[in-house]
Amino acid sequence: MMDTNPIDLTDVFRHLLRLGTAYLLAMPIAWDREAHSGGAGLRTFPLVALASCAYVLLGIEVLDGADSQSRVLYGLMTGMGFIGGGAILKDGGSVRGTATAASIWNTGAIGAAVAWNRYEMAITLALLNFITLWAFRPLKRAARDTQESLPQPAPHEAPGGASVLPPRRERARG
């Protein structure tokens, strides 16, 4: 006879609580990124937290031993880094999206913390991430404005006025 594993509604509600908590803790970060980065946002961040929480819950429920469960965490850390790497854009001399990438990685940690019932850690991670994005935005803007107001060296002049050779394609052949 086939073993039928009936669904335990207590487990369903317990998992829904954790998954929902991870999802909700990611929302302030998602809102900030949606409003200010133009990339990953309201859909991505909650789903990252949800999936991270789900994978860790599966590891806790299905796998035996800390070694197996730690491999789930290692895989999540690598996967979050990969997803975050996709958010980073290089345009000439500037790089954009590093805060979004770091926030994606952090959101994965939020989901994992919730799965392990470490709500204090998940809340702290979510708050610090949101505060960093929100409170440091004016400071970043001020630093950028200061940098742009500084005199820029001439294209072929090193800082301090020392001359440098022009790029190879402009050198006279002799």
Residues 73, 52: Cα–Cα separation, whole Å: 9
The whole-model pTM stands at 0.76
From 42, 90, 35, select the one nearest 98 (Cα to Cα).
Answer: 90
Quick one: CA dihedral 39, 44, 49, 53, positive or negative?
Answer: negative
Q: How far apart are the first and last CA of the chain?
A: 90
The secondary structure of residue 172, as a DSSP letter, is P
Q: What is the pLDDT of residue 19?
A: 97
Angle between helices 119-135 and 137-149 (to 10 degrees): 30
**Residues 94, 100, 101, CA angle at the centre, nearest 5°?**
85
User: In angstroms, what is the C-alpha Rg of the chain?
Assistant: 23
pLDDT tens track for 38-56? 778 899 999 999 999 999 9
Q: What is the pLDDT of residue 44?
A: 92
From 40, 7, 24, 43, select the one nearest 122 (Cα to Cα).
Answer: 24
The residue ranking higher by pLDDT, 164 or 32, is 32
pLDDT tens track for 70-128? 888 888 888 888 888 888 887 777 788 888 999 999 999 999 999 999 999 999 999 99
The domain limits of the chain are 9-139
Residue 171 has pLDDT above 50, yes or no: no
Helix (H, G, I), strand (E, B) or coil at 171: coil
